[in-house]
A and B are shown apart, each in its own frame.
Chain A
Amino acid sequence: MKAAGPEGSPKKYSAAQRKQIIKRHLILRTILQLIFFISMPSAFVAGFSGAKYIFNQVSTGSLISKNDFLIILIFLCLYTILAGRFFCGYVCAFGTLGDLVYALSGLVQMKVLKKKKQYKLPLLILPWLQKIKYVILASILLMCGTGIYGKLQGTSPWDIFSQLTALKLNLNGYAIGMVLFILILAGMAVQERFFCQFLCPMGAVFSLLPVLPAATLKRDAANCPKKCNVCLQNCPVGLKLEDNASRGGECIRCGKCAVYDIKSVNIRSFGTLNGTEIWLVILKAALFFGIGTALGLCRFF
């Protein structure tokens, strides 16, 4: 039974309602992640190829002209500017892989190793580790700009992942890439969204984009109960919204803070919306799917 407070104060949910909201959100997100994983697994590789294309052209002084990857990169960036990193939270196959590995790891830890809580890295080192992806982004782009990147064939873990999603497995000359890929999988087992927050160069790009204020999640800190850390404890990237606004770009719009913040309903993006409303999530997913397919991202159409 919803207890409606006086005009303007947040709604309160019962424990049963809370559980249902959390469960529904998890099911919806998982279904959408699977749909995008199967139909658009190479979206992030395509986008990053657009970034590499720009730097390759500049390195030879050539014209930056119409290129499919560049168009996809521009689409991903525009979408992120307008809706936040929905791509990261719901579409990206690598992100979905990370969620899958972390969930399996949790299952193993709880059921087989009989632990009480799943292991994750200490919160305090997350901000430091999250800076690594900017170094990786800069290095790769610099290598493209100086022409070195072309000689590094076989070192990319993303190539390995792309091959796996295409159900191919030709690993000749991919020794280094394979090692990196396995290390990444290991990392995914000890921290939620390990690759996304620490290593992803596309994530580095997205985190620097100007997301519209209407699309960013904000916390009404004045109304938060003292010492409540529910949002922080459930956030994969260790954000307590607006405590450190400069790290706001890390938010991958998984929506967990909003669904777990049932005590106070203090997390919102625009008006009373918090981005986890079922109709809104489906709308964002459909929009991305439609435009992405038109640009050639879907492997079925």
Chain B
Amino acid sequence: MKNHSIFITSILSLALIIGVLLYYNGIAADRQAMVQAREAEIQAAEAHNAIVLAAESEARESGWTDGTYEGTGTGFGGDVVLSVTVADGKISSIEVVSASGEDAAYFSMARELLNTIIKKQSADVDTVSGATFSSHGIIDAVTAALEKAEG
């Protein structure tokens, strides 16, 4: 029966070896999955970085640094204070901080300029006829703010 005991020993050893290899393969598969997930993360981060870098370099070309800047100009009845927000190097929004001295009717006509300035991405715009002083107030205020943005 020595034949049989050798057979049993070697079949058990073979089963053990195959078991170890399968267990190893399980771990290697998990590791591979983790590595692939990590690489996907890295790729996403790098893609995001690339977008940010592109925006930043574009911003530097426009000359304005991202941020919010206040500028004051002289309107019809006093100071016009505007807050200009630059995002991605572009003028993204302009808020009125104070324009207490302005006549509401004229000022609301001049307000149109805010949209024009954003569309044109420049304070070099024509005044609104009939609201010249308020227009100047706005233009000067935006100009002052943009000067700050140029740094």
Q: Does A268 contact B (CB under 8 A)?
A: no
Instruction: Please state if B10 and A248 are interface contacts (CB–CB under 8 Å).
Output: no
Residues of A within 8 A of B24 (CB): 58, 64
Q: B2 and A211: CB pair below 8 A? A: no
A246–B31 contact, CB under 8 A?
no
Instruction: Determine if B28 and A62 form an interchain contact, defined as CB atoms under 8 angstroms apart.
Output: yes
Asked whether, in the complex, the Cβ of A54 is within 8 Å of the Cβ of B3, the reply is no
**For the complex, is A208 an interface residue (Cβ under 8 Å from B)?**
yes
The reply to whether A210 and B3 form a contact with Cβ atoms under 8 Å apart is no
Judged by a CB distance under 8 angstroms, whether A216 is at the interface is yes
| Residue B50 CB within 8 A of the other chain | no
Given contacts A63-B29, A216-B3, contact A208 B21 (CB under 8 A): no
Contacts of A61 in B (CB 8 A): 28, 31
Question: Is A209 at the interface (CB under 8 A from chain B)?
Answer: yes
Residue B25 interfacial (CB < 8 Å) = yes
Shortest Cβ distance from residue B3 to the other chain A in the assembled complex, whole angstroms:
6
Supposing A54-B21, A213-B3 touch, asked if A208 and B28 sit within 8 A by C-beta, the answer is: no
Distance in angstroms between the alpha carbons of A212 and B7 in the assembled complex: 7
Asked if A245 contacts B25 (CB within 8 A), the reply is: no
Instruction: Tell me whether B105 is interfacial, beta carbon within 8 Å.
Output: no
State how many angstroms separate the Cβ of A259 from the closest Cβ of chain B.
22
Please report the C-alpha to C-alpha distance between residue A216 and residue B3 in the assembled complex, in whole angstroms. 9
Whether B29 contacts A213 by the Cβ 8 Å rule is: no
Is B32 an interface residue, CB under 8 A from the partner?
A: yes
CB atoms of B29 and A208 under 8 A apart: no
Q: Is the CB of A245 within 8 A of B3?
A: yes
Which of B10, B11, B28 is A64 in contact with, Cβ under 8 Å?
Answer: B28
Residue of chain B at shortest CB distance from A207? B10
Which residue of A210, A218, A245 is within 8 Å of B14 (Cβ)? A210
Partner of B25, one of A64, A210, A211, A212: A64
> How distant is A59 from chain B, measured CB to nearest CB, in Å?
12
B-facing residues in A45-62 (Cβ within 8 Å)? 54, 57-58, 61-62
Indicate if B119 sits at the interface (CB-CB under 8 A).
Answer: no
A119 to B24, CA, bound (A): 49
Distance in angstroms from B42 CB to nearest chain A CB is 19
Q: Which of A238-273 contact B (CB under 8 A)?
A: 242, 245-246, 248
CB distance from B151 to the nearest CB of A (A): 52
Give the CA-CA distance A211 to B24 in the complex, in Å: 26
| Contact, CB under 8 Å: A245 / B29 | no
Q: Interface centre among B2, B6, B29, by most A CB within 10 Å? A: B6
CB-based contact B2/A213 at 8 Å: no
B14–A213 touching, CB < 8 Å: no
List the B residue with the shortest CB-CB distance to A54. Answer: B21
28 contacts across the A-B interface (CB closer than 8 A): A54-B21, A57-B28, A61-B28, A62-B28, A62-B32, A63-B28, A63-B29, A64-B21, A64-B24, A64-B25, A208-B13, A209-B10, A209-B14, A210-B7, A210-B8, A210-B11, A210-B14, A211-B7, A212-B7, A213-B3, A213-B4, A213-B7, A216-B3, A218-B3, A242-B2, A245-B3, A245-B6, A248-B6
Chain B residues proximal to chain A, CB less than 8 Å: 2-4, 6-8, 10-11, 13-14, 21, 24-25, 28-29, 31-32
5 closest A-B pairs by beta carbon, nearest first, are: A210-B11, A210-B10, A245-B2, A63-B28, A210-B7
